[in-house]
Structure formats: C-alpha cells, structure tokens
Amino acid sequence: MSSRRSRSGSSRITEDQINDLVSRLQQLLPEMHNRRSDKKSATKVLQETCNYIRSLHREVDELSERLSELLENADTTQADLIRSLLMH
C-alpha cells in the first residue's frame, strides 16, 4: 500500500489532510524543541507529541497529589475561587 505514489483522488486528499494535521501538532509542541521554521518528519512529531502528553499527564498527577493534600485542611469557598480565576 504505497499511498505516497498513489494517483487515486481520495488517497491524495487524505495524505494532504494528514500532513496538515501533523504540522498542527508540531505547533503545539513546547517552544524549546520546536523551531517553527523547520518542518519535522511525522515520525518525529508524533514521537515528541507522545513525550509531551506523558509530561502533561505527570503534571496533572503532581497537581492532583498537591490538591488532595490541600483538601484535608482547607475549606474551599467556591465563589471566591471562581472570582479569582475570572480575574486572570
């Protein structure tokens, strides 16, 4: 299934769509590793995307841990909280 050389209309469109989606993912990667002028291979973009998602999951884990400790002591005032978030 070498779609790269394929002449059929539908697979041509899909390949362009995929390239577009991959470049959009590249835009989301953290700035440090992402020089926007260079186009990376799909393999590299997916690999870095996976690493990035894993690091985001770790951050959520960490924040959850700290927030769950906080719960034991504090009394969350919902209104104050939302107000302060809106003023951001």
Q: Which is nearer to other proteins, 38 or 87 (CB)?
A: 87
Separation between Cα atoms, residue 85 and residue 79, nearest integer Å: 10
Separation between Cα atoms, residue 56 and residue 16, nearest integer Å: 29
| The residue to which tokens 């577009």 are assigned | 20
Q: Positive or negative CA dihedral for 28, 54, 65, 76?
A: positive
Q: Which of 12, 33, 36, 61 binds other proteins (CB under 8 A)?
A: 61
Q: Which of 12, 33, 39, 53 binds other proteins (CB under 8 A)?
A: 53
User: Binding to other proteins (CB under 8 A): which residues in 32-51?
Assistant: 41-43, 46-47, 49-50
Question: What is the nearest approach in angstroms of other proteins to the Cβ of residue 81?
Answer: 6
Q: Which of 8, 10, 37, 84 binds other proteins (CB under 8 A)?
A: 84
Q: Which of 12, 28, 33, 39 binds other proteins (CB under 8 A)?
A: 28
Other CB atoms within a 10 A radius of the CB of residue 42 amount to 15
